[in-house]
């Protein structure tokens, strides 16, 4: 795999050139995609910006053309969420049966069985490099535990009441994690 900084710079150039993104937005997104490309993360949820399915497909194609790798994408139609995933890492997690702890959103939280929607959504994604899986959910809240698994969270919330609010008045803790990669340093906010 090429040097992390080179991957990040190449992805940033693709984003700026093809989607005319501002430098800071392209740079932040490129860092996250490079983490997936490099095998440091198994998934990245595109947040902080609106991305159309066509744009997701365009980014995926250009990244694959520039550096064929284990990257693929997922588009969820109900919530219009976009993910970049590392197919190799997700296949390894499946083989190792590496799943998060499933925790209810009730107060107090408690361990619950794997949600039924998890296996359904898992069956809809294509774990092949360069693929774009289009999935949909019955309830938008079904994506909460599925996204947690894609993003390597050790604990996944299972929304027990899709009609009511959940995790309200829960303070979000944001941590700045420093990644030292050879002679480069990146600060990544994680919640």
Q: Is the pLDDT of residue 17 over 90?
A: no
Residue 1's pLDDT is what? 44
Residue 170's pLDDT is what? 58
Which range has the worst mean pLDDT, 46-55, 105-114, 117-126? Answer: 46-55
Residue 115, token pair as written in the block:
């949600």
pLDDT tens digits for range 131-156:
999 999 988 889 999 999 999 988 88
Give the pLDDT mean for 3-26: 71
Give the integer Cα–Cα distance in Å for 87 and 72: 7
> Considering only CA atoms, which of 17, 15, 3, 70 is closest in space to residue 46?
15
Sheet with 81-86, edge to edge strand ranges: 43-45, 81-86, 71-76, 132-135
């Amino acid at each position: 795999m090429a040097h992390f900084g080179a991957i990040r710079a190449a992805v940033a150039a693709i984003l700026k050139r093809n989607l005319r993104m501002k430098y800071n937005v392209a740079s932040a997104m490129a860092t996250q995609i490079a983490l997936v490309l490099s095998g440091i993360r198994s998934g990245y949820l595109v947040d902080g910006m609106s991305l159309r399915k066509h744009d997701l497909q365009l980014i995926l194609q250009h990244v694959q053309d520039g550096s064929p790798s284990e990257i693929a994408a997922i588009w969820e139609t109900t919530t219009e969420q976009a993910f970049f995933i590392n197919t190799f890492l997700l296949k390894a997690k499946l083989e190792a049966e590496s799943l998060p702890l499933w925790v209810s959103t009730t107060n107090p939280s408690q361990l619950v069985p794997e949600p039924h929607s998890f296996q359904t959504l898992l069956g809809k994604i294509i774990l092949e490099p360069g693929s774009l899986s289009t999935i949909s959910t019955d309830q938008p809240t079904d994506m909460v535990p599925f996204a947690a698994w894609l993003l390597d969270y050790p604990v996944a919330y299972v929304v027990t009441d899709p009609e009511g609010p959940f995790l309200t008045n829960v303070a979000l803790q944001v941590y700045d994690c420093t990644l030292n990669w050879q002679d480069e340093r990146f600060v990544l906010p994680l919640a």
